[in-house]
Amino acid sequence: MTAGKPRLVACPLGFDERFVVRAIIQLRLGLGSHDALALFLPVEGDPRGLDAFNRVKRMVESYNLDLTLSLSEISVDDFWKGAGQIRKCLEELANKLGSPKLCVVLGGGMRILSLQVLIGVLALNLGGDVLIYREDLKGSVTFSLDALRGLKKPSEEHLKILRVIRRRPGLSFSELADEISMPKATLHKRLQELKDMGLVSVRHEGRRVFISTTPRAILWLSDQQ
């Protein structure tokens, strides 16, 4: 069988693995290409989730699928931190596969975790699809990730600013300009861009301006968690 483009599939996992098994079959994972399936459980979640993962693992091994299987436990109490953990995990897998096609499968698992997985996938800014199953598994819908695009990946210059702000929350505009050695006119423009992206908040006290990152910024700063 001719090898195709690898797929990277992200899926929240509950205590019922039926949605994952259905996705493996429907997407023909591990047949004709080396694919990766990243499963996510909530930290300290239902222990039956691990049982479900082990059943999926036995299936992959039983059918000798060319499929890398991974499991990560994600914080659901801090939404953006958890989404950042997922983004980082998927980014590492994507780098190993080399420009894979993405797919996020939704059907089982906690609703918060499902949204975190979706956000983490979107943050990679790669092409792919969303596959959503009905709760009774009698049908599904698939649509392009492009339909949900709204996240804009910060530039390296943006990230440099965000890292400083996160390290020194509440610092003034002048302090930030001195810290990163950037002309104030340029910095003002970059801060407005970050504000438009929902990644920084600005508080005015008289003539002083105090800047902090928003919780959403953690999505791009998971290396500092």
Q: What is the CATH number for 193?
A: 1.10.10.10
Residue 42 belongs to what domain range?
Answer: 7-148
Query: Which residues of 3-63 form beta strands (DSSP E)?
Result: 7-12, 35-42
* Tally of CA atoms within 13 A in the half-sphere of 91 that contains its CB: 16
Helix ranges restricted to H, 71-205: 79-97, 111-122, 156-167, 173-180, 184-196
Q: Which residues, 6+ apart, have CB-to-CB distance to 46 below 8 Å?
A: 14, 15
Regarding whether 119 and 17 lie in a shared domain, the answer is yes
Residue 37 within a domain: yes
Q: What pLDDT is recorded for position 223?
A: 67
Regarding whether 205 and 98 lie in a shared domain, the answer is no
Regarding whether 176 and 141 lie in a shared domain, the answer is no
Q: What pLDDT is recorded for position 4?
A: 81
Regarding whether 171 and 83 lie in a shared domain, the answer is no
Of residues 134, 117, 153, the one with CA closest to residue 38: 117
* Domain tally, the chain: 2
Of residues 147, 89, 78, the one with CA closest to residue 113: 78
Regarding whether 49 and 116 lie in a shared domain, the answer is yes
Residue 97 within a domain: yes
- Where the chain has pLDDT below 50, the residues are 1-2, 225
Residue 2 within a domain: no
Regarding whether 126 and 18 lie in a shared domain, the answer is yes
